[in-house]
Structure 1
């Protein structure tokens, strides 16, 4: 297997694009090579199997959508108010929506994980770590709300993102913003 980290990342980003555009069935080494604009056979030199490519694309998604250091500082150092939580949730939704193809690829990967135990294991571990990270940071920040608040917002906002990315005509931007405000107010304030 090849070890050029930049080329590997390019191939994984191409795999994410293929997943978003063609679905899991369209993810082939040839399709990834074409999307990455590299010579035929390049992806197969970096990944031992299609399963490995799927699994590594799942890992890459979480690298792509990481919050910036500035955003993380806002969690710990910002005001301890419901309005601040609302602003943070709008940032999260906006960040995920700005990575449309990556999020759609993740949805494809989640469906594929129902059939592939190794991929399911990787995604389960990664999503669990992400949830635990969010709960831990929220509790440590001193923001209002508890662990259940974080989980409820996670569930509600993820589905809002799915609606917005897959059926963009369901909610306008203003409706989405209002739904985020309502979700935070009801979950945090009770």
Structure 2
């Protein structure tokens, strides 16, 4: 297995995300990834040991691409540690995740596939738990109002709001979505 070109590997994993979002886990093949990435047939099979390897790397790549930029971290660091700042951060989060539509849809596909693949379920469980724990730790260290339960409840509520936005975008307008994010923070986060 050849693994010499990190840019090509990244392009293949990004193509796998697009395939997952467009065709679902069943449509994810080395050939479909090669086609989407615009590389010669057989390229993906030189970079990934098997389909499971490709699935798990696609999931990891989505998380890499969803990490906030330094400017977002800096805005939060210097903002007042109050519910309005918290609501703004959550609106930014929902917007950032929603704008990476294919990535979030790929994660949903991976979650569904994990119900049939115990190893993928194990990896996703570890990744999501680690991400949630990191968010809780960051929140508690930030001085923002609320506790770990607030973070967990917002995680659950906002994830479904994102699913709604990406799968049935005409159910809620953008203004309704922003109002609901603000209301979730106001009602869940105890000051």
TM-score interval, smaller chain = over 0.9
Map of 1:122 onto structure 2: 123
Unaligned runs of 5+ in 1: none
Instruction: Map 1:40-189 to 2 at 5 A.
Output: 40-189=41-190
CA distance in 2, matches of 1:51, 1:134: 27
Once the 2 structures are TM-superposed, how far is the Cα of residue 117 of structure 1 from its aligned partner? 1.3
Q: Does 1:35 align with 2:36?
A: yes
CA distance in 2, matches of 1:47, 1:77: 43
Using the size of structure 2 for normalisation, the TM-score is: 0.97
What is the total number of aligned residue pairs between the two structures?
190
Using the size of structure 1 for normalisation, the TM-score is: 0.97
Alpha-carbon RMSD across the aligned residues, in angstroms, is: 1.0
Whether the aligned pair in 2 keeps the contact of 1:23 and 1:105 (CA below 8 Å) is yes
Bigger mean CA deviation after superposition, 141-150 or 68-77: 68-77
Structure 1, residues 118-150: CA drift from partner, whole Å, max 9, x if none? 111111111111101110010001111000001
Structure 1, residues 77-100: CA drift from partner, whole Å, max 9, x if none? 321111100100000000001100
Map of 1:9 onto structure 2: 10
Bigger mean CA deviation after superposition, 47-56 or 67-76: 67-76
Unaligned runs of 5+ in 2: none
CA distance in 2, matches of 1:15, 1:135: 30
